[in-house]
Structures are given as C-alpha cells and as structure tokens.
Amino acid sequence: MTGQQREVGGVTVYGVDVDPCTRCRHWHGDNDVIALRFACCDQWFCCFDCHQALADHVPAVWPQGRRDVKAVLCGACGHSLRIDEYLACDSTCPACGAAFNPGCARHYHLYFEVDEADYGR
Ligand SMILES: [Zn+2]
Ligand SMILES: [Zn+2]
Ligand SMILES: [Zn+2]
C-alpha cells in the first residue's frame, strides 16, 4: 500500500499514487491540489475515483444542511475549507492563493448535495 496514503495538513489523505499536494493518478495537473473528505466514512481522499479504488463501500455526499463541515483540503498549504467556503472561493485557496482546478465544478455532485444555484458562481 505504498503511495496510497499521506499526511497533509495534519490529516491522512488516501489516494492512488497520492503526492505531497494531494494529486493522484487520476488528477495530477498543476492545479489538482484539493482533497475531499467523504460523508460516508469521514476519511479524506484525493478524488472520487480514489475513493472508488480504495474504499470498500458506496460513497455518500454531504447534504446541503452540512455546508459548515470542513470537507475540502488545499494540498498546497494544508488549509481545510468549509464546503460553503469552497463553493464560494472561485477556485482559489483563501489561505494561500493557490489555484484550484475550475473543472472540479463539474464534479460537485460527486461530493456535495447541490442544486442549480451552486453552479456558475
Ligand atoms: Zn467513504
Ligand atoms: Zn484520484
Ligand atoms: Zn492553500
């Protein structure tokens, strides 16, 4: 299981070939530096596919009523963002200014319960 987990920002992040900025085999561009905490197991993973590969259960999303949970980790600085902070951050880490992949917006529904109002901010 080497390369499947790493300490980042004080939490353990699981991922396939996880790097020090929480990139993984699936998402390894310069700005693919966020990890996500899953509602099902309260564990951090690099991405949805890493959860599929490494967890033994069906993933769950955070309900809209839990937007106060810190469920997004900036792999560049180790800061964790609340879900509402992340959805409003305009793909930039509020702590260190690192750029996040704006394409992640297409995958909100894999992690969070969302509605139309959450897209295109
Ligand atoms: Zn899980
Ligand atoms: Zn991954
Ligand atoms: Zn940051």
Confidence class for position 2, pLDDT limits 50, 70, 90: low
Q: Which ligand is nearest to the CA of 55?
A: 1
Q: How far is the CA of 94 from the centre of ligand 3 (A)?
A: 7
- Provide the mean pLDDT of the chain: 94
Its pTM stands at 0.93
User: How far is it, in rounded angstroms, from Cα 121 to Cα 118?
Assistant: 7
Q: How far is the CA of 90 from the centre of ligand 3 (A)?
A: 13
Count of C-beta atoms within a 10 Å radius of residue 10: 8
Strands 70-74 and 80-82: antiparallel
User: How far is it, in rounded angstroms, from Cα 70 to Cα 96?
Assistant: 17
Q: Which ligand is nearest to the CA of 16?
A: 2
Question: Facing residues of 7 across strands?
Answer: 12
Asked if residues 63 and 49 have their Cβ atoms less than 8 Å apart, the reply is no
Q: How far is the CA of 42 from the centre of ligand 1 (A)?
A: 7
Q: Which ligand is nearest to the CA of 43?
A: 1
Cβ-based burial of 39 (10 A; exposed 0-12, middle 13-18, buried ≥19): middle
User: How far is it, in rounded angstroms, from Cα 39 to Cα 9?
Assistant: 19
Q: How far is the CA of 68 from the centre of ligand 2 (A)?
A: 24
Q: How far is the CA of 16 from the centre of ligand 2 (A)?
A: 6
pLDDT digits (tens, 9 = 90+) for 26-65: 999 999 999 999 999 999 999 999 999 999 999 999 999 9
Q: Which ligand is nearest to the CA of 93?
A: 3
